[in-house]
A and B are shown apart, each in its own frame.
Chain A
Amino acid sequence: MKLSFFLSALLAAAAPVLFHSAAHACAVCLSGSADDPLTDAFNWSVLFLMAMPYTVLGSIGAFLFYNYRRSTKRASEPSARTTIAPLTWIHKESGR
């Protein structure tokens, strides 16, 4: 009883997604018909614009990540290490 109620509620909730063409109770969707080239044009434009921020952020993120990795590597090279290691060793020797 409870399960069937739950399932039917779920179905009702999912209905607008599954049957969107039937459910689009849109009174003024004049330019919304699928075979209109303008609709298609807007769809592509929406997709393009939607993808752009992520493309830009992704490339900048990748660039920064690459640079940070490189500078990290440079910092951990032996030449950079040598100054720190003896100092640390001295500290241990000092027995504090």
Chain B
Amino acid sequence: MSEAATAHDAHAHHVELGFWRTYVFSTDHKMIGRQFLFLGLFMLIIGGLLAMMMRWQLAWPETEIPLMSWVPEPYMYGGILPPQTYNAFFTMHATIMIFFVVMPIMVGCFGNFLIPLMIGTRDMAFPKLNLLSFWVGAVSGVVMLSSFFVPGGPAASGWTAYAPLSAQAAFTGVEWGQHLWIISLIILGISSLMGSINYITTIVNMRAPGMTYFRMPLTIWSLFITAILLLLALPVLTTALAMLLFDRMFGTSFFLSQGGGEPLLWQHLFWFFGHPEVYVLVLPAMGVTSDILSTFSRKPIFGYHAMAFSMISIAFLSFTVWGHHMFISGMNPLLGTAFMMSTMVIAIPSAIKTFNWLGTLWGGSIRFTSPMLFALGFVSNFLIGGLSGIFMASTPVDIFIHDTYYIVAHFHYVVAGIIFALFAAVYYWFPKMFGRMMNEPLGKIHFVLTYIFFNCAFFPMHFLGVGGHMRRIYNPMQYEFLQPLQGINVFITVSAFLLGLSQIPFLVNFIGSLFAKKRAEKNPWQANTLEWTAASPPPHGNFDAVPVVYRGAYEYSSPEVKEDWLPQDRQLATTSTAARLH
């Protein structure tokens, strides 16, 4: 680091790079973070539109979707969604939302943007690897989107791609779409691998002087643990995807029983990756939420060490629970019981986190800014999603609600709930990223509308699920027992459309604020962490001088100073003992 740092010192303020090196092939971690943000937001729009079309089909089956009559014949028939395209749409909706929205934004964007700033260093450990990581990820996104335009359409076997459905083109009628899906995810795996290696190395080796592990903000803790999870879980997905690709292209039969293969093996390998992946998605959201809740309650985070250790134990347990996705697939009952127990144990660290968030809020002087509102929204949605998860962890209950809309409700409360943390993070760090504040009233309107319609859209899905409404079903009206529930479906669809429309204030706010005249201050939220000591937006090389850290990240309302915040790098003459306590 020393050489790199001094080299940076010499050049820090006189770098004149061309357009391409500044905005496209930049090695600056902040620009790469912004690139990931724009990639993720673009994909969010596509994934959201796919969901809208699916919702139309579920509420008013086989009627013409407005504005969609231009889509050519095999994909839509005069705006009517055929079953094949419906399958493709829910597959791509999930794939895009998980791999190209939440992962690029929560891990890619905020990981890249925040890690060097929050630990007080000038850039990532390997800036060129970082550049490569984004562009490999972008190629993967292009490959994924290009599958919309190949004959047969995109992959249609669900984002879980269960074999043998996914292992033979004849089963879904999709040849190249599924190939491209597999190839795209393998490429994305390489991108994530480069990213996580970079994150871990940076956090372990490049922290600012005085920034001990237990002075790191919880966002950094969460990203650190996420990177470790990605590092260990994604290669197994790559294995499984490679085997699936071999099955489809080179005539092997790993997942095809007619060649002696074992379809269950796919689920086994996929969920070994898939469950840690869930925590890859949710841990950064938890970290971001912890920071935001503490900042806007003007109180130290409740139980900092408990928060860090509960994230570690979530990560630790996440490799022992993947079987709970396969209760119905057939499994030794003993193994099933073990998976059920370990799954329920994971509720404990999650509950610790929730209660510590509440403890942070308790008695705080809360400022209801947009980031705070969205963080609170995340906590409440995560609570509902977490509680419905416990029902599914229990095998006897799972038999009845498996593959119904109950599970759709559950994972949307968790994963679409992460979008709340995502918005919170965007509102919170927007001033640091782009040097301008986002509009507060618009942000509040965005929150209220999103929160109401989110719950209207996803909560009734629990009722549908308990009523027996199958997941991934094309036309619920063809079953007599589902016809009385159709009213709920219509209600959900209307709410989903309104939820989609509620994102317009955000888009207006985001784009408008990008070009706003008024510049943001250095520390608009009066927060403690190191990124707020840099300029907004930070220049190449981030800090004038690498900061020295004297305390933890959560010294709000400290009696040592008259303001209610105490930045990590402020040196107090009289409070050396207070600093040492952390």
Contact = CB atoms under 8 A, between A and B. Distances in A.
B236 A25 contact: no
A46 B236 CA distance: 13
A42 B399 contact: no
A42 B333 contact: no
A32 B331 contact: yes
Contact of B395 (A24, A38, A43, A64): A24
A45 B264 CA distance: 12
Contact of B337 (A17, A28, A56): A17
B172 interface: no
B268 A42 contact: yes
A24 B268 contact: no
A1 to B, nearest CB: 29
A29 B335 CA distance: 12
B345 interface: no
Given A17-B341, A50-B319, A57-B232, A24 B333 contact: yes
Interface in A31-63: 31-32, 34, 38-39, 42-43, 45-46, 49-50, 53-54, 56-57
A17 to B, nearest CB: 6
A20 B335 CA distance: 10
Contacts of A26: 327-328, 333, 336, 395, 399
A32 B319 contact: no
A4 B206 CA distance: 59
Interface in B213-271: 228, 232-233, 236, 262, 264, 268
A53 B330 contact: no
A3 interface: no
B338 to A, nearest CB: 9
B337 A32 contact: no
B331 A29 contact: yes
Nearest to B334: A20
A20 B264 CA distance: 22
Q: How large is the interface on B (under 10, 10 to 19, 20 to 34, 35 or more residues)?
A: 20 to 34
Given A38-B262, A50-B319, A57-B228, A43 B396 contact: no
B164 interface: no
Nearest to B232: A53
Interface in A2-39: 16-17, 20-21, 23-32, 34, 38-39
Given A26-B395, A43-B335, A46-B323, A32 B232 contact: no
Q: Which one of B233, B236, B333, B341 has the highest number of Cβ atoms from chain A below 10 Å of its Cβ?
A: B333
B2 interface: no
B399 A27 contact: yes
A57 B332 CA distance: 28
B332 A39 contact: yes
A46 B204 CA distance: 31
B279 interface: no
Given A50-B320, A53-B319, A57-B228, A28 B330 contact: yes
Contacts of B330: 28-32
What is the predominant secondary structure among interface residues of chain B facing chain A? helix
Contacts of B396: 16, 23, 25
Given A27-B399, A54-B319, A42 B228 contact: no
A54 B315 CA distance: 11
B543 interface: no
B272 interface: yes
B319 A42 contact: no
Nearest to A20: B337
Contact of A32 (B233, B236, B333): B333
A21 B333 CA distance: 7
B316 to A, nearest CB: 8
A62 to B, nearest CB: 15
Nearest to B337: A20
Nearest to A64: B204
Contacts of A29: 330-331, 333
A13 B228 CA distance: 35
B200 to A, nearest CB: 10
B530 to A, nearest CB: 24
A46 B399 CA distance: 21
Contacts of B204: 64
Contacts of A38: 262
A16 B337 contact: yes
A46 to B, nearest CB: 6
Contact of A49 (B228, B272, B333, B334): B272
A42 B332 contact: yes
Contacts of B327: 26
Given A17-B341, A49-B272, A24 B232 contact: no
A23 B340 CA distance: 13
Contact of A24 (B228, B262, B336, B341): B336
Contacts of B228: 57
A64 to B, nearest CB: 8
Contacts of A43: 332, 335
Going nearest first, the 6 A-B pairs with the smallest beta carbon separation are A24-B333, A31-B330, A53-B319, A20-B337, A53-B232, A39-B332
Given A50-B319, A53-B319, 9 more contacts: A20-B334, A20-B336, A23-B396, A24-B337, A24-B395, A30-B330, A43-B332, A57-B228, A64-B204
Interface of A: 16-17, 20-21, 23-32, 34, 38-39, 42-43, 45-46, 49-50, 53-54, 56-57, 64
Interface of B: 204, 228, 232-233, 236, 262, 264, 268, 272, 319-320, 323, 327-328, 330-337, 341, 395-396, 399
27 contacts: A16-B337, A17-B341, A20-B337, A24-B333, A24-B337, A24-B395, A29-B330, A29-B333, A30-B330, A31-B264, A31-B330, A31-B331, A32-B330, A32-B331, A32-B332, A34-B332, A38-B262, A42-B264, A42-B335, A45-B268, A46-B323, A46-B335, A49-B236, A49-B268, A50-B320, A53-B319, A57-B232
